[in-house]
Amino acid sequence: EDQVTQSPEALRLQEGESSSLNCSYTVSGLRGLFWYRQDPGKGPEFLFTLYSAGEEKEKERLKATLTKKESFLHITAPKPEDSATYLCAVQGEANYQLIWGAGTKLIIKP
């Protein structure tokens, strides 16, 4: 069964304190792994798609990496506006639906 587990559930950082979020997955043939950001009461906002192990993508203070079993979202020198829930999802080769993790709630204190 396809499954996604994100850790930690919540992470509190001081502004400028870099860290990483983890997304572990099991899927029958990975079609793609996706990172989204979700602000309270809003829909998820697309950040990255990763397709194969070793791939990396960057956007501002965020960098996503992928291995055969997990993905990391690295946050460098975060700012308070980076506070949000970060969701990870995978799509397997069997079908097109996204399987989601429960998310990591990131809080950046000024």
Partner 1 sequence: DAGVTQSPTHLIKTRGQQVTLRCSPKSGHDTVSWYQQALGQGPQFIFQYYEEEERQRGNFPDRFSGHQFPNYSSELNVNALLLGDSALYLCASSSWPGHTEAFFGQGTRLTVV
Q: Are 87 and 36 in contact (CB under 8 A)?
A: yes
- Looking from the CA of 92 toward its CB, the CA atoms found within 13 Å total 13
Residue placing its CB nearer to partner 1 in the complex, 18 or 95: 95
Sign of the alpha-carbon torsion through 62, 20, 93, 51: positive
Write out the binding residues for partner 1, residues 50-109 only, by CB under 8 A: 87, 89, 91, 95-103
C-alpha 66/C-alpha 107 separation (Å) is 24
Pick one of 4, 11, 66, 106: the residue that binds partner 1 (CB under 8 A).
4
Regarding 1 and contact with partner 1 (CB under 8 A), the answer is no
Question: 81 by DSSP, 3-state: which?
Answer: helix
Regarding 28 and contact with partner 1 (CB under 8 A), the answer is no
Regarding 45 and contact with partner 1 (CB under 8 A), the answer is yes
**Binding region for partner 1 (CB under 8 A):** 4, 31-32, 34, 36, 41-46, 49, 87, 89, 91, 95-103
